[in-house]
Structure 1
Amino acid sequence: MKTVVNSSVLIGLSLTEKFHLLRKLFKEIFLPEVVYQEVCVKGEGRPGYLEVEEAVRLGWIKRKEIKNKVAAQFLKETLGEGESEAIVLAKEIGAEIILLDDPKARRAAKLVDLRIMGVVGLLELALKEGEEIDLTKEITKLVKKGFRISKDLLREKEGMQGIE
């Protein structure tokens, strides 16, 4: 399954020490070059940096430049650079899924018929696939470390009502 990943998912999985789930759950993982720069150059030493560097070095995450710079520039008027290029790359390579969390980016991806999953959805998928994950604990860990998760999504998850 071709998958494109944005920085928020990489960082979120690093914060929960669940980065390995990407490799277990998705066959082909592509990273827009601008997202690589965001996580590994500008974000050197921050969460996600070491894991992404290692995954790229080992070849299970592939860096890729987008071709349609005009489409990305158009999307950048309302989205971040990483989200814009992730959406464009997903369309260019015919990705089956795009991994991103930003609400505006998710709406834009939906408009162009991309299947979307964020960190919480990925953790849920791993749980369904037999991974031993305490979803409440992992979501709490993300929130405590400053990861933004919508209150609506938190309310959807059993036992999450008390998290702010």
Structure 2
Amino acid sequence: MIVISNTGPLVALAKLDRMDLLNQLVPDGVFIPHIIQRELWAKSSFESAALEAALDGFIQVRSKPETVPVAVELATMYLDEGEKQVVRLAASLDEPLFVLLDDNAGRKAAQKLDLAITGTAGLLVSAKKQGLIPAVIPLLEALRTHGYWLSDELVEHVRRLVKE
């Protein structure tokens, strides 16, 4: 299974210095559209080195689809350009995949198109279940400390889910 990722979850994993988790959890490939690559290159902070290494390594850039079906156009028309390209790329592929998105608007658009979705928190839960990390909540709290917005409801939901 492959992943089509938006910028946010990649930045979150870079902030945690845990880009390795994505590579371990998704060995079949992580793909991003060109616009996400540009957004990642624009990051000028401590996580930029981790993002650059991932872009040079296991993250692959894919071109956006030439044509977009009307249903996909309608579902994505109000998204920002990055999310729009992520969802459109995912909808254009005929292979098992999930979309890695944290933003609610992007997630809703992907759901309308019956795309499988997860976010940063879901990825961390999977990492814990596979024994790649000992706990999720400390990582979510670290993200909050680094300015990554996560709702209280999401953190509490994850806390109950992983029993931390």
TM-score range normalised by the length of the shorter chain: 0.7 to 0.9
Question: What residue in structure 2 maps to residue 80 of structure 1?
Answer: 80
- 2: CA distance between counterparts of 1:34 and 1:85? 7
Counterparts of 1:86-105 in structure 2 under 5 Å? 86-94=86-94, 95-105=96-106
Q: Is the 8 A contact 2:75 2:113 kept in 1?
A: no
Between the two proteins, the alignment pairs up a number of residues equal to 156
- 2: CA distance between counterparts of 1:75 and 1:34? 19
Q: Any stretches of 5+ residues in structure 2 without a counterpart?
A: none
Q: Output the TM-score relative to the length of structure 1.
A: 0.85
Alignment RMSD, CA only? 2.1
Question: What residue in structure 2 maps to residue 54 of structure 1?
Answer: 53
For residue 158 of structure 1, report the CA deviation from its aligned partner: 2.5
For residue 135 of structure 1, report the CA deviation from its aligned partner: 1.1
Question: What residue in structure 2 maps to residue 162 of structure 1?
Answer: none
Q: Output the TM-score relative to the length of structure 2.
A: 0.85
Question: What residue in structure 2 maps to residue 108 of structure 1?
Answer: 109
Q: Percent same amino acid among aligned pairs? A: 26
Q: Is the 8 A contact 2:4 2:100 kept in 1?
A: yes
Q: Is the 8 A contact 1:6 1:83 kept in 2?
A: yes
Q: Look up the SS of the partner of 2:159 in the other structure.
A: coil
Q: Look up the SS of the partner of 1:66 in the other structure.
A: coil
Which segment is superposed worse, 73-82 or 91-100?
A: 73-82
Q: Look up the SS of the partner of 2:61 in the other structure.
A: strand
Question: What residue in structure 1 maps to residue 32 of structure 2?
Answer: 31
For residue 20 of structure 1, report the CA deviation from its aligned partner: 0.6
